[in-house]
Amino acid sequence: MPSMGNPGHPLRRCEPDCLQAELTRYLDEDDAMSRFDIGLQFMDTGRMTYHGRRHDAAFWIENASVA
């Protein structure tokens, strides 16, 4: 999760390279580095069910390649 104190600006979505422009602005203008908090969630896959059925551990891993 991004920190509430991050110095990012809203993206100009009409600009085709808005992410590149914001990164360039950040590197040129901002004094503080952006911060992100990372959290871990431990799961007991042996007790978890989906629609009443148990699944192997691989089922519970988010797979971004699946639509």
Q: Is the pLDDT of residue 66 over 90?
A: no
Check: pTM over 0.95? Answer yes or no: no
pLDDT tens string 10-55: 888 788 898 898 888 888 998 888 888 888 888 898 899 999 999 8
**In sequence order, what are the residues at sequence separation of 6 or more whose Cβ sits closer than 8 angstroms to the Cβ of residue 39?**
1
State residue 25's pLDDT score: 87
